[in-house]
Amino acid sequence: MTAEIWTGILVLITFGIYIYIGYWARVRDTKGFYVAGQGVPPFANGAATAADWMSAASFISMAGLISGLGFDGSIYLLGWTGGYVLLTLLLAPYLRKFGKYTVPDFVGDRYYSQTARAVAAVSAIFISLTYVVGQMRGVGVVFSRFLGLEIVWGVVIGMVIVAFFAVLGGMKGITWTQVIQYFVLITAFLIPAVAISLQLTGNPVPQFGLAFSNIVADLDYIHEQILGEKPYTEAFRTRPMIDVVFITLALMAGTAGLPHVIVRFYTVPNVRGARYSGAWALFFIALLYLTAPAVAVFARYNLIATLHDQPLDQVRELGWVRSWEATGLLSFDDKDGDGFVRMDEGEITINNDIIVLATPEVAQLPPFVIGLVAAGGLAASLSTASGLLLVISSSVAHDIYYRLINPQADEQRQLLVGRIVIFFAVVVAGYFGVNPPGFVAEIVAFAFGLAASVFFPIILLGIFDKRTNSQGAIAGMLVGLIFTAGMILMMRSTLLLGTEEPIINDFFGISAQGIGVVGMILNFVVAFTVSHLTPPPPAHIQELVENVRNPFGSGAASSH
């Protein structure tokens, strides 16, 4: 059977399982809808958290970025893994002990302000929409290649599936669906990695194959001597050091401030469960993240060996080349007219989002493996998309509608509003999935920058600084959001605003992907300064902060 047939079979099987779980875990109350009834075991929550966090950017785009950037691609590994450690150790247990449903809930109660709650809710919606666009784009890329559909229809199918189990099952359905999706995506990532490592190095462990072979040295030689570029492993070969540092910090702080990741720690029974689920999630995440660099390097090596200095006519006869060229994500331009593909002269354009998906085909692995990778890419995209849609739903239905507009609304009305919001959010995400403002990992990086600039400072100060008050929190969040969003708009104005040239290219060497750190610093400074120029929080709020930091009562017997 062909890769397309295997993909169709595996997608039908996995989607059938997802839909069944969504129906089985359907909920009828807000606690089940928003936090899965706070009864998810730590092991399952760890797997669900890993699936929620390892989005299309991790599965589809990250190895592609590392493959193209070389050393500089480590920003994604360091930023995303370091950020998760930061969240698990520094913030998550305290947020779970606080015992609320959502991040805006924490902000509204900790800063005793409905205005702060509203700003946090709007920010959560904005960040989550930005993030979910990347997931819908990932779904479209997979469907367009492996099922022969237009990207538009691929995105539409993904929208329908995600909306179904998000609307019906809420967080409970999403959580148990994500457990299955994790094992689908990790299997789909590891099997091709082992196969390609065996093929290129003779070692079945990709990390050892990479470390104890000449592949990296060969790539350095090829880039320097044949392609006329800087060595593949040279630091800061594609971007200045300041940008590498700032992007890494933005991804770290953004991870610790992402609403859809934080809410996962509310779904376990107690604080001890939050800590254990964090440890499980870190283990599950490490399986993919420690393998991605090897996959990236193997993919780069295979692409150069297959394409560079080869007759263009013969290259275009390769099955995987024909398939990907038809999607528009791979193209050739014989600039010198010699009929050969010259990578050093820019005669080939490869979208970063296809590297992982195309690598099994380039390596001529069995069609079953190719189909499995496609199913894994869909699992990664859909698992994160569903979690993000629930954040948008809860921000509108719980934090805005119930808390600010209609406090008398019963649970059925809240659920109705939440489900309606999911439909609208899916449509918006689908539109931008078809017309994206960048490739998957770049779009996701924007969301991380926004999360870093809005939520990380306010959550950190809210837990560890009793003196930070509502005025400081509101001012800090607004400054962080407006500055970061404004700078991203100006730096990416060619895509987002339709200008011929970017309004500005960078901010003192910092790109749009790293600008969130500047917004984060401004948020810290403004929040701290305003808080100390205005009256301190009420005594009961300061006592609450002390209690949240108190280790007593945080074990299994804790009600929070």
Digit-coded pLDDT (tens) for 490-546: 988 886 677 888 899 899 999 988 999 999 999 999 999 999 999 999 999 999 888
Tell whether the model's pLDDT for residue 98 goes beyond 90: no
Report how far apart, in Å, the C-alpha atoms of 557 and of each of 99, 248, 264, 269, 549 are: 14, 38, 20, 10, 17
Confidence of residue 201 (pLDDT cuts 50, 70, 90): very high
**Terminal-to-terminal C-alpha distance of the chain:** 53
Which pLDDT does position 153 carry in this prediction?
A: 82
The answer on pLDDT for 470 being more than 90 is: yes
Q: Take residue 119 and report the two structure tokens written for it.
A: 């700003």
The beta strand positions in 57-136, using DSSP E, are none
Helix (H, G, I), strand (E, B) or coil at 194: helix
> Could you tell me which of 359, 357, 369, 393 has the C-alpha nearest to residue 137?
357
560: pLDDT strictly greater than 50:
no
The proportion of the chain whose per-residue pLDDT surpasses 70, expressed as a percent, equals: 92
Closest CA to 296 of 192, 431, 222: 192
Q: What band does 479 get if pLDDT is binned at 50, 70 and 90?
A: very high
Read off φ and ψ for residue 331, nearest 5 degrees.
Answer: -150, 160
From 68, 52, 20, 37, select the one nearest 359 (Cα to Cα).
68
Instruction: Enumerate domains of the chain plus CATH numbers.
Output: 3-402+411-549 (1.20.1730.10)
The amino acid at residue 43 is F
Q: Is 9 exposed, middle or buried (0-12, 13-18, 19+ CB in 10 A)?
A: middle
> What pLDDT digit, counting tens, does each position of 430-449 carry?
887 777 665 555 666 677 88
Q: What is the pLDDT of residue 7?
A: 82
In order, the DSSP letters of 130-178 are HHHHHHHHHHHHHHHHHS---HHHHHHHHHHHHHHHHHHHHHHHHHHHH
Round to whole Å and give the CA distance between 395 and 430: 19
Eight-class DSSP state of 205: S
Tokens coding 239: 């971007």
Residue 317: CB partners within 8 Å, gap ≥ 6? none
| pTM: predicted TM-score of the whole model, two decimal places | 0.81
Tokens 């209690």, located at residue? 547
Structure tokens at 152: 């538009």
pLDDT tens digits for range 299-322: 889 888 888 889 999 999 888 888
How far is the C-alpha of 245 from the C-alpha of 239, rounded, in Å? Answer: 10
Residues contacting 252, CB < 8 A, separation 6+: 78, 79, 80, 82, 83, 86, 452
- Phi/psi at 497 (nearest 5 deg)? -120, -5
Q: What is the mean pLDDT of residues 340-364?
A: 83
Alpha helices in 317-410 (DSSP H): 319-327, 355-362, 367-394
